[in-house]
Structure formats: structure tokens, C-alpha cells
């Protein structure tokens, strides 16, 4: 009997999503064996007891009968109109419900907007570190992700001049993630304005991932990119998953502003792709109007004494008390911290080995920094969603593991040569 090996598509050769990759699979195996794993690899509010506002659940129940059939491929009108009103309140002009597409989370929309735009070999400027779905979706749709650095020593904020230096005739789009995942950086107005002017001069589409737009700390100011981009097309992507703690509802939106008339063929292509998947989850769309128009409970969580504020503060304190960890700047937004390990104290540190050791020995799951398309190997990402007590306990385990690494270092006169071999 002949064995026919079924092989995957070659288009997946360079696609990675390590946040749910090998380490996560190993964590599931350990859980099946009876171990309790603290999963800090994914920003999943429901897993840490952060509930969706009750008013959103009631809105879906009340409209259950309206959710049994397909809706328009762009989404139900009340949801799209609520998004328009939010954009108008933020100072974005010229947007109607026709420029709003509702999707099964921002993840689906990232794929749709890139598929409608890219030809083979087209380039997209993507931040490094990035949310890795952006790089993966560019690759899956025949493009090439060109990473612009957001350096730790600069608070993970990009330098617009470095971004401009990466432009080529094949560059089609610029991705901005603000507030940033994985770093928690919130970009200053001046940087965003410079990126907007760069995109306008080069005729790039701006994809602004703003899913954490209301998760801000200590007075950080969020500037919607669509308020700055006028002379090219801007797509603002957001949704219910994070601010409204409704990841499982799978509701996101893409709002197009700026030069929409010049992009009519492109928007028609997105409409076509939206039609091919018929529509997004209808029931959960009925929560959008209530979410955007109701009480914004996220403000309680990110204000001093709020759950997310205190968890973030616990991480900052733990890093400050550590002999090995570094945090150039506390996260200003989002629900993550991108933590460095001091290369002077642990010159042989490797983020992937560390993440595996931490999981196997201490039963804590984190995402190694290399998962976010960075060239260095001394960072890891944790979510700030657990309460402060649990986070402090977890960082105690991390410190123990790093201390065991330090004990295994070679004699001082051998450290430099060993480090050089590693690099």
C-alpha cells in the first residue's frame, strides 16, 4: 500500500505565530498531566475573571431573534453607525457607515485588508517588535514584511527617519500599532504626525491598529491616527476584544478615512472579500452600539487603584527589585509588558530556552521576545491581566530561574568568549 504524504502549502513556510505555538502546546500537555499553569502568553481577559459588561450581554439577548439570518457583508447598520459616531467624537471627519467593515475580530480584518491590497512582492512596513499576526498576514498574502525598529532604548517608539529609510518602490502600506502590543508604548503626537506625512508623501495606506485605544496609564495620551492622516488612505482597526473584555465575541471593525474616493476600487475589493465569507458573527454585533455608547468601565480598571493599573504597578516593582530584569520604560498602555534581561548579568541568556525552562520548571507560560519579530534574544512578554498578588508570586519564580542561570555561568574570564560564541 502506497503512503501519500499530504504536505502543507508552501505559502506557510515563513509564517509563524509562536504565541500559540510549541510552548502553548506543551503547556496544554502539562495541564492534562495535572499541573497548574499560569498562562501569561495571551491577553485573554476572561481567563483572569475580567467579565464583559453586563449591558453588552443583555443587548445580545434582546436582539437574539434579529441574529438568526445573515446580515449585510459589512455588518449591521447600528453597529457600523456606532463606530462612525465614535470616530466623529474623536475628530475624524468624512466617515459614514459605508466606510465601516465589521469582521470576526480584528484578526480577520487584518487578513482581508491586506489580501485586497497586496500583489506578490509588495512590501509593508511593520514595527519590530510587532503583533506577529501582521507579519504573518503580509506573508500569507504574498507580500514582504519590512520591519522598522522600535528600540528598547527609545522606549519602543519608532524613529520616523529610520522608517523613511526603508521605503522602496514596492512599499504599499505602513502599519502602526498604538498603544503597542507587545511593548505597551503609546506614541507621541509628533512621531505620529511624522509617520502620517511620510505615508502621504509616499502614497502608502496607513493601517492603524488601535485595539487598546482606551487602555492608558499615568496620563498617557492616545492620538487617533485618522485625525492626522488626510492626503492618503487610513484604516483604523479596533474592536470589542480588549477594552470591552469580549475576546470570544469576535467583533472587530475597520474604518476607512482620508482619501477614500481615490481608494474606491480597493474598498470594493474588501467588500468582495467580505461577501465571500457572507458576514461576520451577527449576534455579537448587537453589543457594539451598547459598548461604544455606554459607560466606559475600562477607565475604572486603568485608573489608580484599578485592577489593571495595580497589576501593571506590581510588574514594575518586581522588575525594579530584580537583579536581572530591565524595563526601560513602564508600559503606558495596553495589557502587556515587554521585559528585558540584563545582558551584563546573563550574557548567555536565550529567550526561547528561558520560556521553555520557565514552563517546565516553574509552570509559567510567557511569550519569548523573538516571537515578535525582533533581532535580539533577551526579552519576553507577559500580560498584565492577573491580579497583583499572582504577578508578584510569578515574578518570584522568574527570579529563581534567572538566579539558577547565574549560578551556572562560567568563570568571569570565560564569559566574554562564551557570549561572543552565542551571538
Which one is predicted more confidently, 270 or 4?
Answer: 270
Classify residue 49 by its DSSP letter: T
**DSSP-assigned states of every residue in 186-213:** ---HHHHHHHHHHHHHHTPEEEEE-TTT
pLDDT at position 22: 86
| Strand pairing report for 252-258 and 100-103 | antiparallel
Q: What predicted TM-score, i.e. pTM, was given to this entire model?
A: 0.92
Confidence at residue 147, expressed as pLDDT on a 0 to 100 scale: 98
27: number of Cβ within 10 Å: 20
Strand bridging mode 38-39 / 364-365: parallel
C-alpha grid cell, residue 252 = 472587530
Cell of 414: 570565560
Cell of 6: 499530504
- Average pLDDT on 372-382 reads 95
> Are the C-beta atoms of residues 17 and 370 closer than 8 Å to each other?
no
CATH architecture of 10-50+300-407: Alpha-Beta Complex (3.90)
Of the candidates 320, 319, 346, 337, the one whose C-alpha atom is nearest the C-alpha of residue 403 is 346
pLDDT for residue 311 is more than 90: yes
For the segment 37-57, what is each residue's pLDDT rounded down to a tens digit?
A: 999 998 999 999 999 999 999
CA-based R_g, the chain, Å: 22
Residues 400-410 have pLDDT tens digits of 999 999 998 77
Q: Which of 20-29, 76-85, 118-127, 254-263 has the lowest mean pLDDT?
A: 20-29
Average pLDDT, the chain: 93
Break the chain into its structural domains and give their ranges: 10-50+300-407, 54-293
Give the pLDDT confidence of 80-103 residue by residue, as tens digits: 999 999 999 999 989 999 999 999
Residue 226 and residue 234: Cα distance in Å, rounded?
A: 6
Strands 144-149 and 123-128: parallel
Query: Is the Cβ–Cβ distance between 238 and 213 less than 8 Å?
Result: yes
Residue 1, pLDDT score: 60
Confidence of residue 2 (pLDDT cuts 50, 70, 90): low
Per-residue pLDDT, averaged over 15-43, amounts to 87
Q: Do domains 10-50+300-407 and 54-293 have the same CATH topology?
A: no
CA distance 73 to 26: 38
Residue 354: C-alpha distances to residues 162, 163, 368, 394, 402 (Å): 31, 31, 8, 14, 8
The pLDDT tens digits of the residues spanning 124-167 come to 999 999 999 999 999 999 999 999 999 999 999 999 999 999 99
- Residue 416 — pLDDT band, cuts 50, 70, 90? very low
CA nearest neighbour of 193 among 147, 154, 227: 227
Per-residue pLDDT of 317-356, as tens digits, reads 999 999 999 998 899 999 999 999 999 999 999 999 999 9
Write the DSSP symbol of residue 333: B
Q: 54-293 has which fold?
A: 3.40.640
d(CA 208, CA 226) in angstroms, rounded, equals 8
pLDDT score recorded for residue 8: 79
Q: What percent of the chain has pLDDT over 70?
A: 96
Amino acid at each position: 500500500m502506497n503512503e501519500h504524504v499530504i504536505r502543507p502549502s508552501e505559502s506557510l513556510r515563513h509564517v509563524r505565530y509562536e504565541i500559540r505555538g510549541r510552548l502553548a502546546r506543551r503547556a496544554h500537555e502539562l495541564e492534562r498531566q495535572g499541573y497548574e499553569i499560569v498562562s501569561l502568553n495571551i491577553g485573554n481577559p476572561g481567563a483572569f475573571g475580567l467579565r464583559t459588561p453586563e449591558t453588552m450581554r443583555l443587548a445580545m439577548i434582546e436582539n437574539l431573534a434579529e441574529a438568526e439570518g445573515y446580515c449585510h457583508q459589512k455588518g449591521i447598520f447600528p453597529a457600523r453607525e456606532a463606530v462612525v459616531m465614535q470616530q466623529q467624537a474623536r475628530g475624524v471627519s468624512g466617515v459614514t457607515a459605508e466606510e465601516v467593515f465589521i469582521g470576526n475580530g480584528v484578526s480577520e480584518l487584518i487578513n482581508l485588508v491586506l489580501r485586497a491590497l497586496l500583489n506578490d512582492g509588495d512590501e509593508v512596513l511593520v514595527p519590530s517588535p510587532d503583533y506577529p499576526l501582521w507579519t504573518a498576514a503580509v506573508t500569507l498574502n504574498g507580500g514582504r514584511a519590512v520591519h522598522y525598529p522600535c528600540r528598547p532604548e527609545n522606549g519602543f517608539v519608532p524613529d520616523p527617519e529610520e522608517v523613511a529609510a526603508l521605503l522602496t518602490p514596492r512599499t504599499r502600506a505602513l502599519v502602526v500599532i498604538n498603544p503597542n502590543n507587545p511593548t505597551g508604548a503609546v506614541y507621541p503626537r509628533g512621531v505620529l504626525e511624522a509617520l502620517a506625512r511620510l505615508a502621504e508623501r509616499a502614497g502608502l495606506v496607513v493601517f492603524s491598529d488601535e485595539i487598546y485605544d482606551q487602555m492608558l496609564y499615568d496620563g498617557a495620551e492616545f492620538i487617533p491616527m485618522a485625525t492626522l492622516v488626510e492626503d492618503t488612505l487610513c484604516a483604523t482597526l479596533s474592536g470589542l476584544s480588549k477594552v470591552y473584555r469580549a475576546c470570544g465575541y469576535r467583533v472587530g471593525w475597520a474604518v476607512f478615512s482620508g482619501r477614500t474616493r481615490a481608494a474606491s476600487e480597493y474598498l470594493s475589493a474588501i467588500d468582495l472579500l467580505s461577501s465571500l465569507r457572507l458576514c461576520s458573527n451577527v449576534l455579537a454585533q448587537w453589543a457594539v452600539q451598547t459598548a461604544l455608547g455606554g459607560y466606559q468601565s475600562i477607565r475604572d480598571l486603568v485608573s489608580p487603584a484599578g485592577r489593571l493599573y495595580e497589576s501593571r504597578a506590581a510588574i514594575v516593582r518586581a522588575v525594579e527589585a530584580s537583579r536581572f530584569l530591565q524595563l526601560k520604560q513602564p508600559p503606558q498602555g495596553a495589557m502587556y509588558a515587554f521585559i528585558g534581561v540584563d545582558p551584563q548579568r546573563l550574557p548567555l541568556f536565550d529567550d526561547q530556552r528561558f520560556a521553555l525552562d520557565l514552563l517546565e520548571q516553574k509552570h509559567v507560560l510567557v511569550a519569548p521576545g523573538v516571537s515578535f519579530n525582533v533581532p535580539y534574544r533577551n526579552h519576553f512578554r507577559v500580560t498584565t491581566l492577573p491580579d497583583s498578588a499572582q504577578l508578584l508570586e510569578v515574578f518570584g519564580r522568574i527570579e529563581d530561574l534567572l538566579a539558577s542561570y547565574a549560578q551556572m555561568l562560567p568563570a568571569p574570564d570565560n564569559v566574554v568568549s562564551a557570549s561572543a560564541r552565542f551571538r
